[in-house]
């Protein structure tokens, strides 16, 4: 087991796929619907193939859990958890905010997280117990003490039109309690921005493991707190998350409790 080698190969894969997505931004690529508003482009699929091929060549005994074509496996001693393009709706519209997210789970724990934003050429990395970094500079969560002074981010699930658990009630409640709520369209980058102290907190439900495997580690390694909606331990396989600088965490949980998790 060589975590340095895993990190190096994972980083190469994320950068290659991110550069590819950037090169193809606003070009003529095909877009299909996975659901009413859930899109997938040929770039998502090609980026995934690029990452998976590279990882499988180097680590043939590792498992892959990736959003588009490899999303059925779970488990194995070493599992790469991959979102080849986080922010597909943005991407399909030519809105330049998206990322590649790669986490490595070893014996049930995410030990490595890599998120690459090719638009800003920002590489976010974390290793369990060794801190979080952006382009090799250490990251720290913000020092904002109260929700009232906080900037938050969130997102909405693809079943927003048909499910009552669509986050709109939480969104309204938080919008009235903090300085602003951003809906950036890339949960992986939202989490990196919490780690970097650019936003103070993030919450969302119905995320998939590939959206958050790298991001949760980034936040905790940058000194933040990641839990479920009731303050219990977070998991990339749990539906709900609150990630914050720690200082405003209880206030965020209280808002969600008052609303009733919706």
Q: Which is nearer to ligand IPD, 6 or 91 (CB)?
A: 91
The helices-and-strands tally (H runs, E runs) of the chain is 7, 14
Pick the stretch among 13-21, 83-91, 114-122, 126-134 that binds ligand IPD (CB under 6 A): 83-91
Find the shortest distance in angstroms from Cβ 47 to Ca ion: 9
Q: Is 70 in the site for ligand IPD (CB under 6 A)?
A: no
* Residue in 103, 113, 150, 185 binding ligand IPD, rule: CB under 6 A: 185
Residue 114, H or E segment: strand 109-117
Q: Rounded to the nearest 5 degrees, what angle is found at the Cα of 240, between the Cα atoms of 146 and 141? A: 40
Instruction: From 21-29, 206-214, 225-233, 234-242, give the range in contact with Ca ion by CB under 5 A.
Output: 206-214
Total residues contacting ligand IPD (rule CB under 6 A)?
14
**Residue 83 or 105 with smaller CB distance to Ca ion:** 83
Binding region for ligand IPD (CB under 6 A) out of 21-29, 79-87, 122-130, 135-143: 79-87
Q: Report angle CA 131, 134, 138 to the nearest 5 degrees.
A: 40
Which positions from 52 through 71 interact with Ca ion, judged by CB under 5 A?
67
Cα four-point dihedral sign 56, 235, 35, 192 = negative
Of 10, 18, 87, 215, the one binding ligand IPD (CB under 6 A) is 87
Main-chain dihedrals φ then ψ at residue 250, nearest 5 degrees = -65, -40
Query: By the 8 A CB rule, do 11 and 59 touch?
Result: no
Q: What is the rounded distance in angstroms from the CA atom of residue 253 to the CA atom of residue 259?
A: 10
Q: Which is nearer to ligand IPD, 70 or 88 (CB)?
A: 88
Q: Of 186 and 227, which CB lies nearer to ligand IPD in the complex structure?
A: 186
Q: Is residue 86 within the footprint of Ca ion (CB under 5 A)?
A: yes
- Using alpha carbons only, give the angle 184, 156, 150 rounded to the nearest 5 degrees: 55
Question: Does 204 help bind Ca ion (rule: CB under 5 A)?
Answer: no
Counting every residue, how long is the chain? Answer: 262
Whether 206 contacts 165, CB under 8 Å:
yes
User: Is residue 211 within the footprint of Ca ion (CB under 5 A)?
Assistant: yes
187 part of the interface to ligand IPD, by CB under 6 A:
yes
Least gap, CB of 106 to ligand IPD (angstroms):
24
Q: Can you give 190-251 as a three-state secondary structure string?
A: HHHHHHCCCCCEEEEECCCHHHHHHHHHHHHHCCCEEECCCCCECCCCCCEEEEECCCCHHH
Q: How far apart are CA 210 and CA 65, in angstroms?
A: 8
Smallest separation, CB 185 to ligand IPD (Å)? 5
If we measure between CA atoms, which residue out of 47, 46, 59 comes closest to residue 8? 59
86, 200, 221, 228: residue in contact with ligand IPD (rule CB under 6 A): 86
Q: Which residues bind ligand IPD (CB under 6 A)?
A: 83, 86-89, 155-157, 185-187, 204, 207, 211
């Amino acid at each position: 087991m060589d975590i340095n080698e895993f990190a190096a190969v994972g980083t190469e894969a994320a950068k290659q796929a991110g550069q590819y997505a950037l090169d193809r931004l606003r070009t003529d690529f095909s877009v299909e619907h996975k659901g009413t508003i859930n899109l997938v482009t040929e770039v998502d699929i090609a980026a995934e193939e690029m990452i998976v091929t590279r990882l499988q060549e180097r680590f043939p005994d590792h498992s892959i859990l990736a959003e588009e074509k490899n999303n059925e496996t779970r488990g194995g001693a070493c599992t790469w958890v991959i979102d080849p393009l986080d922010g597909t709706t943005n991407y399909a519209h030519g809105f330049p905010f998206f990322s590649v997210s790669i986490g490595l789970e070893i014996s049930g724990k995410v030990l490595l997280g890599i998120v690459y934003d090719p638009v800003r050429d920002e590489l976010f990395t974390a290793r369990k117990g060794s801190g979080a970094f952006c382009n090799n500079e250490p990251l720290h969560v913000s020092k904002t003490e109260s929700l009232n002074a906080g900037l938050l981010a969130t997102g909405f699930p693809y079943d927003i039109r048909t499910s009552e658990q669509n986050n709109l009630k939480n969104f309204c409640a938080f919008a009235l309690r903090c300085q602003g709520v951003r809906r950036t369209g890339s949960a992986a980058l939202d989490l990196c921005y919490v780690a970097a102290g650019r936003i103070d907190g993030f919450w969302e439900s119905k995320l998939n493991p590939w959206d958050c495997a790298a991001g949760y580690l980034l936040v905790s390694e940058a000194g933040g707190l990641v839990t479920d909606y009731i303050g219990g331990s977070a998991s990339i396989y749990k539906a709900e998350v609150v990630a914050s600088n720690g200082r405003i965490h209880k206030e965020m949980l209280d808002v969600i409790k008052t609303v009733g998790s919706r």
